[in-house]
Amino acid sequence: MNWGFDSNSRPDVEKQDSELRLIPSWSVALSVVMFIAVQFLFHVDNGGPQHHGGPAPVRWLFSYSWGTALASYVLLIGYISRDVKRRNMSPGIWMLIALVMPGGIGAIVYFLLRQPVMTRCPSCRTELASGFHFCPQCQFQMAPVCGQCFRGVHITDAFCVQCGHDLTEDSMPARLRSFSD
């Protein structure tokens, strides 16, 4: 039985970090360009605010909301282009769906249908979904779990939030060992 749990695979810390880093720099740059382009279209290309359109506050509201919407859409596409690869899904098909379906519907469909993130067991290299607590092949502990109900717990928890079990009593030292590293 292998309860190994090394310090650089703490699931909580790693997850938030990589989600943010997943957005590629080209889509960040493109979203800024899109935002500025929308401001330009609303305020400059119209012959000046005195000639056309409604009062200035309304124009600012429209340009700001359209710019924000377009910029977030570009960020979303960038996120999907990376996210699709770590889920063993086909990048070509899903990028096409996200881009072609109007108003972000493709992106919503993507988030409803996407597969779980795939990782590898550090012990035996079996490919498995990241939500797993144990490796199905070698029983390597992928995430800290309660010793009584076997649901996921945080490394810093003293008691299980699901069943109230005293986690310090557990005969599995992995959780405590990784916390004291």
Which of 131, 129, 165 is closest to 149 using CA atoms?
165
The CA–CA distances, whole Å, from 94 to 113, 141, 150 equal: 10, 32, 35
Residue 102's φ and ψ, nearest 5 degrees, are -75, 155
Decide if 131 contacts 116 (C-beta within 8 A): yes
By beta-carbon proximity to Zn ion, the closer residue of 54 and 136 is 136
x/- letters, 88..127, toward Zn ion (CB under 5 A):
---------------------------------x-xx-x-
DSSP 32-50: HHHHHHHHHHHHTTTS-TT
Q: Establish if 149 lies at the interface with Zn ion (CB under 5 A).
A: yes
| Binding to Zn ion, residues 35-64 (CB under 5 A) | none
CB of residue 122 to Zn ion, shortest distance in Å = 8
Please tell me whether residue 161 binds Zn ion under the rule CB under 5 A.
no
Regarding 148 and contact with Zn ion (CB under 5 A), the answer is yes
In one-letter notation, the amino acid at residue 148 is Q
Q: Is 128 in the site for Zn ion (CB under 5 A)?
A: no
160 binds Zn ion (CB under 5 A): yes
Number of neighbouring beta carbons within 10 Å of residue 62 = 14
The residue among 122, 129, 133, 121 whose CA lies nearest residue 88 is 129
Q: State the nearest-atom distance from the C-beta of 141 to Zn ion, in Å.
A: 10
Position 73 contacts Zn ion (CB under 5 A): no
Residues of this chain that interact with Zn ion (CB under 5 A) are 121, 123-124, 126, 135, 137-138, 140, 146, 148-149, 160, 162-163, 165
